[in-house]
Amino acid sequence: MKTVETRVVEPDDADQRLDRWFKRHFPGVGHGHLAKLLRTGQVRVDGKRAKANQRLEAGQSVRIPPMDEAPAPEVRPARAAPKVDDELVERLKRAVLYRDRDVLAINKPAGLATQGGSGITSHVDGALDGLKFDARERPRLVHRLDKDTSGVLLLGRSQQAARRLAEAFRAKSAMKIYWALVVGEPRPSAGTIEGAIAKLPGRAGEKMAIDPETGKRAVTRYAIVERLGGKVTWVALFPVTGRTHQLRVHMAELGTPILGDGKYGGADAFLQGEGVSRKLHLHARAIRIPGMDGNSGGGRPLEITAPLDDHMKRSWKFFGLDEAAGRDPFEPFEE
């Protein structure tokens, strides 16, 4: 007789919809049957009722009721293993910033998605089989960057390492610092933005907005690194929480949209008549993870810094900025 089962969400399944997680792990459970299990509260996440479109987080517990009533899995022909994009693998190997037995860090280029989705055929996740190096396991994603955001992307080189990294993100002991060029000048020069964020309904696509009533808590700290006469400002950003498009929404809400972010800043996010890239100027500059420096032997914090993406380097040069001026990206947020 089958009994109730509890499964822990692995880092590889983080940010995945509950119904898609079920389809992956229980392919014989149809949409209608799952809807009934959810409606009657037999499937729960962290002990609470859940909806099919709820996005899961690594470490959450999913209650699985006995599946005796579920239809037998449909037998389908085995799919051929996806073809690895060798060119992308080599590109990512050249972008490796750090590697030890537990952690792999790459400098993700702008324009490359972290994971697949509708209409996305080229992404980091699809190239991970080619990034094993000397490890037995395929590296695992533990967080994501937007397609148009460049910078540090961490991967766990084993299931155990991925869990440790994912827990650091969940516990907010991981510190991620972003650099951006914004249009205008934030006032005051440093501060904290608190604005709950929710996904817009309807056909707005994956677009988020400030919504105090239904949104999830979102907190961003910011500090000006260098001013450019009020027209453009170089800022450092520290997302205390990690909501979708959080930095982009918060900077637009402050009245200083990120340069090139037409999605949230509209026409105000672009400079007319300037020889500056129209790409998004947002870069994951550095990450600090406590006790994860496998090369130190002393359990020191792992700190990884990523050079600017090419389009941002050109903009820094255009505006006469010196990347070295922000040599310690954590400094504005040190207590």
Residues with Cβ within 8 Å of 138's Cβ and at least 6 positions away in sequence, in order, are 128, 129, 131, 132
Answer for the pair 73, 28: CB distance below 8 angstroms, yes or no.
yes
Q: By C-alpha distance, which of 218, 232, 241 is closest to 271?
A: 232
Strand partners, 123: 113
Highest mean pLDDT among 30-34, 82-86, 196-200, 291-295: 196-200
What does the alpha-carbon distance between residue 258 and residue 45 come to, in Å, rounded to a whole number?
Answer: 36
Domains and CATH numbers, the chain: 5-64 (3.10.290.10), 86-170 (3.30.2350.10), 175-333 (3.30.2350.10)
Token pair, residue 88, equals: 């992308």
What does the alpha-carbon distance between residue 171 and residue 168 come to, in Å, rounded to a whole number?
Answer: 5
Please identify which of the residues 13, 146, 261, 293 carries the catalytic annotation: 146
Q: By C-alpha distance, which of 219, 220, 237, 233 is closest to 286?
A: 237
> For residue 77, what pLDDT band results from cuts at 50, 70 and 90?
low
pLDDT tens column, 235-280: 999 999 999 999 999 999 999 999 999 999 999 999 987 789 999 9
Answer for the pair 259, 318: CB distance below 8 angstroms, yes or no.
no
> What's the rounded mean pLDDT across residues 128-146?
93
**CA distance to 35, 57, 204, per residue, from 41 (Å):** 10, 19, 30
How deeply is 241 buried, as exposed, middle or buried, from its count of CB atoms within 10 A (0-12, 13-18, 19+)? Answer: middle
The question of whether 146 is a catalytic residue gets the answer yes
pLDDT of residue 295: 66
What does the alpha-carbon distance between residue 141 and residue 11 come to, in Å, rounded to a whole number?
Answer: 7
pLDDT tens column, 164-220: 998 898 888 999 999 999 999 999 999 999 999 998 886 656 789 999 999 999 999
pLDDT of residue 72: 46
pLDDT at 89 over 80: yes
For residue 333, give the amino acid letter.
Answer: F
| pTM reported for the whole predicted model | 0.78
The half-sphere exposure of 152 on its side-chain side, counting CA atoms within 13 A, is: 26
pLDDT at 69 over 50: no
Sheet containing strand 61-64, strands side by side? 5-8, 61-64, 44-45, 48-49
Give rounded-to-5 percent helix, strand, coil for the chain: 25, 25, 50
Q: Where are the beta strands (DSSP E) in 184-330?
A: 190-194, 197-199, 208-210, 219-228, 232-239, 282-289, 302-305
For residue 83, give the amino acid letter.
Answer: K
Token pair, residue 2, equals: 């089958």
pLDDT at 159 over 60: yes
pLDDT of residue 59: 78
What does the alpha-carbon distance between residue 71 and residue 22 come to, in Å, rounded to a whole number?
Answer: 14
What does the alpha-carbon distance between residue 100 and residue 157 come to, in Å, rounded to a whole number?
Answer: 9
